[in-house]
Chain A
Amino acid sequence: MVASTFGRSGGRILAIAGKEVLHIRRDPRTLYLALAMPVVMLVLFGFGISFDVDHLELAVVDQDGTWASRELVRQFTASKEFVVSTESPSPEQALRDARRGHVVAVLVLPKGFARAVSSGGAQVQLLVDGADGNTATQVLAKAQALIQVASPRLAGEGAPLPAPPVEVRIRTLFNPGGRSALFVVPGLAAYLLAIVAVLMTALTVAREWERGSMEQLFATPVGRMEIVVGKLLPYLCIGLAQVLLVLTAGAWVFSVPIRGSLPVLGLGALLFLIGMLGQGLLISVVTRNQVVATQVATLTSMLPSMLLSGFIFPISNLPAPLRLLSTLIPARYFVSVLRGVLLRGNGLEVLWPQLGALALFALLILAAAMARFQRRLD
């Protein structure tokens, strides 16, 4: 009796899932949107969002015109991090270029620079365009490092240098080259999956309400749970295919490694997708309208996944209320899982709290969707 009930229930779930597959086959744009869009966007954003700063346009005001001043400029340009865009006779002229945004920094080498280098008290002036704070910070750091490296050469090869009291040897773990792609791609993957997954389910259920086919479904013995599971199954499979495609594109195009546990990554992706699909379901059950569902789905998946997930802005830098709010955003935990597995080589022993949070979110959002999804038209 129980087996027969489960059998009939399973049959109805498969019927709903099969019908969804037919809808997708009839309108392959859904499939293209779901599979191609994340990969295209990953590649575009992956190249577009870069915190790597090089080929910085520099204006040079060399008022000294000596070997020492030219050597310092050469040191700046040797690594290709800076390129000399203009050589100006005066700081005023160079500042005009900076105001027009033609250069990000102005290097002023005053008259008597070479002499001052010999006597050990040389100064140069670096004027940095602070309108882009991130670039300005990196310009300052790079310039200081370059000058530190160039100083002994300018002072003369044989000149003795005092040993620093503390020497710091820095080694960057997990991303030694400091490549932005390794930081951006995992976050981007979570962001794109969140948007597509929420949008797909929000539309598919709202469409049933709008067309009236929900009325026909409710007149059959199919239960709420069967509708929900049957509806989610095909989109869960599409979502998992998305994860594979995005990770493959990340590895192939951006050389993002997979250093940790693949099963943990798979589990994280599964839980995250269930949560996102559940969120889409809740939106469509509440709105019952495709246009409104699209707007709400875009808003509630895009903004939190971008701003509160740690994808771009470190969570530790957020103001306390937003930091607290970010604990409710599943993308935050999935970004941690992705970075943990891909870059840090983490497994279950490290990532279980994030997986637990994803499971809890999925459970709660599905329960909320089920509670709102009444098997009636009122």
Chain B
Amino acid sequence: MSAAETRDLELRDVRRSFGATQALRGVSLAVRQGEVYGLVGPDGAGKTTAMRILSGLLRPHEGSATVLGVDPAHPRGEARERLGLVPQRNTLYGDLSVDENLHFFASLFGLSRPDFEARRERLLHITRLGRFTERRADALSGGMYKKLALACALLHRPRVLLLDEPTNGVDPVSRRELWELLYGLVHEGMTLLVSTPYMDEAARCHRVGLLYEGQLIAEGEPRALARAHGVSPSDFESVFLAIIARRDGRAA
């Protein structure tokens, strides 16, 4: 197996602007099969833009994106069949119940009735939403809502999962549960790209990319990055601040 074949997600020198704002300024990254890649950065760094380009919701102005070797924005939608997305915003149907949301998204992915029943049972089990199937999505807590979004994104057994700030607004207990759930998926061979503004979550990833003002300013294994900056891996915020300080100092 060649190196190129193991890259499930790839951005190559991607640039994207919104009016005068440059959201991404020549970002290149690659996520290997079975890896948890953390895209870490403050608000406005360009994480959501990168996620949207990889899920085919936006086109890059320059550069290219591939998911499992194909253009995610291609009208045939090959990539979408094998990709799951948990967007940052609450984008499920709030007036529909947990079960109705699951059924709706399963229908869009063309799951047969028996397959849906099996997937529904499994996903409700791992997300612990089994007791809330009749509850409307907008009546769920923040953590449960994210788990439902995750369950909807996993219905069609995607090989690659994009999670845009999945722990945003989620309490610490639910955050831990969510990460345990994600590790379980990786164990099954799934590739994960997770964006987060929380530096402590970087330590949970196999590799991280630090996105700052639309540029990938550092990339590597969390421990290696921490070691390189003489900081404890558990204090990833200091790693991030040190990298920014060094970069800004160079720029000055």
**Once bound together, how far apart are the Cα atoms of A243 and B107, in whole Å?**
32
Q: Are B95 and A12 closer than 8 Å at their CB atoms?
A: no
- By Cβ-Cβ distance, the 5 closest A-B pairs, closest first, are A15-B107, A219-B85, A216-B91, A212-B91, A220-B108
Q: Are B87 and A215 closer than 8 Å at their CB atoms?
A: yes
**Once bound together, how far apart are the Cα atoms of A78 and B98, in whole Å?**
72
Q: Are A213 and B110 closer than 8 Å at their CB atoms?
A: no
Residues of A within 8 A of B57 (CB): 215, 218-219, 376-377
Check A378 for interface membership: any CB of B closer than 8 A: yes
In chain A, what residue has the closest Cβ to B87? A215
Cβ 8 A contact of B56, one of A14, A213, A376: A376
Check B81 for interface membership: any CB of A closer than 8 A: yes
In chain B, what residue has the closest Cβ to A8? B110
Residues of A within 8 A of B85 (CB): 216, 219
Question: A333-353 toward B: CB 8 Å interface, digit per residue (1/0)?
Answer: 000000000000000000000
Check A19 for interface membership: any CB of B closer than 8 A: yes
**Once bound together, how far apart are the Cα atoms of A27 and B93, in whole Å?**
13
Q: Are B93 and A23 closer than 8 Å at their CB atoms?
A: yes
Check A89 for interface membership: any CB of B closer than 8 A: no
Check B73 for interface membership: any CB of A closer than 8 A: yes
| Known interface pairs A22-B96, A22-B100, A219-B83; A378-B58 also in contact (CB < 8 Å) | yes
Question: A13-29 toward B: CB 8 Å interface, digit per residue (1/0)?
Answer: 01110110011001100
Known contacts A12-B108, A215-B87, A219-B85; 9 additional CB pairs below 8 A are A15-B104, A18-B104, A18-B107, A19-B100, A211-B94, A212-B87, A219-B57, A219-B87, A220-B80
Check A11 for interface membership: any CB of B closer than 8 A: yes
**Once bound together, how far apart are the Cα atoms of A277 and B71, in whole Å?**
33
List residues of A whose CB falls within 8 A of some B CB. Answer: 8, 11-12, 14-16, 18-19, 22-23, 26-27, 211-213, 215-223, 375-378
Residues of B within 8 A of A15 (CB): 104, 107-108
Check B132 for interface membership: any CB of A closer than 8 A: no
| Known interface pairs A213-B92, A215-B87; A12-B107 also in contact (CB < 8 Å) | yes
Check B59 for interface membership: any CB of A closer than 8 A: yes
| Known interface pairs A27-B95, A218-B56, A377-B57; A223-B83 also in contact (CB < 8 Å) | no
Residues of B contacting A: mostly: loop
Residues of B within 8 A of A211 (CB): 91, 94
Check B6 for interface membership: any CB of A closer than 8 A: no
Check B250 for interface membership: any CB of A closer than 8 A: no
Q: Are B89 and A215 closer than 8 Å at their CB atoms?
A: yes
Question: Which of A12, A213, A221, A377 has the most C-beta atoms of chain B within 10 angstroms of its own C-beta?
Answer: A221
**Once bound together, how far apart are the Cα atoms of A23 and B96, in whole Å?**
8
Q: Are B55 and A219 closer than 8 Å at their CB atoms?
A: yes
Q: Are A221 and B93 closer than 8 Å at their CB atoms?
A: no
Cβ 8 A contact of B80, one of A14, A22, A219: A219
**Once bound together, how far apart are the Cα atoms of A377 and B59, in whole Å?**
9
Cβ 8 A contact of B108, one of A222, A376, A378: A222
Question: Which of B90, B91, B92 has the most C-beta atoms of chain A within 10 angstroms of its own C-beta?
Answer: B91
Residues of B within 8 A of A375 (CB): 75
Residues of B within 8 A of A219 (CB): 55-57, 80, 83-85, 87, 153
Q: Are B90 and A212 closer than 8 Å at their CB atoms?
A: yes
Cβ 8 A contact of B95, one of A18, A23, A377: A23
**Once bound together, how far apart are the Cα atoms of A216 and B162, in whole Å?**
12
**Once bound together, how far apart are the Cα atoms of A22 and B100, in whole Å?**
9
Residues of B within 8 A of A223 (CB): 77
Residues of A within 8 A of B96 (CB): 19, 22-23, 26
| Known interface pairs A219-B57, A221-B109; A377-B52 also in contact (CB < 8 Å) | yes
Residues of A within 8 A of B100 (CB): 19, 22
Q: What would 9 A/B residue contacts be, using CB atoms closer than 8 Å?
A: A8-B110, A14-B107, A18-B104, A19-B96, A19-B100, A216-B91, A220-B109, A377-B57, A378-B59
**Once bound together, how far apart are the Cα atoms of A130 and B55, in whole Å?**
69
Check B183 for interface membership: any CB of A closer than 8 A: no
| Known interface pairs A19-B93, A213-B91, A213-B93; A12-B110 also in contact (CB < 8 Å) | yes
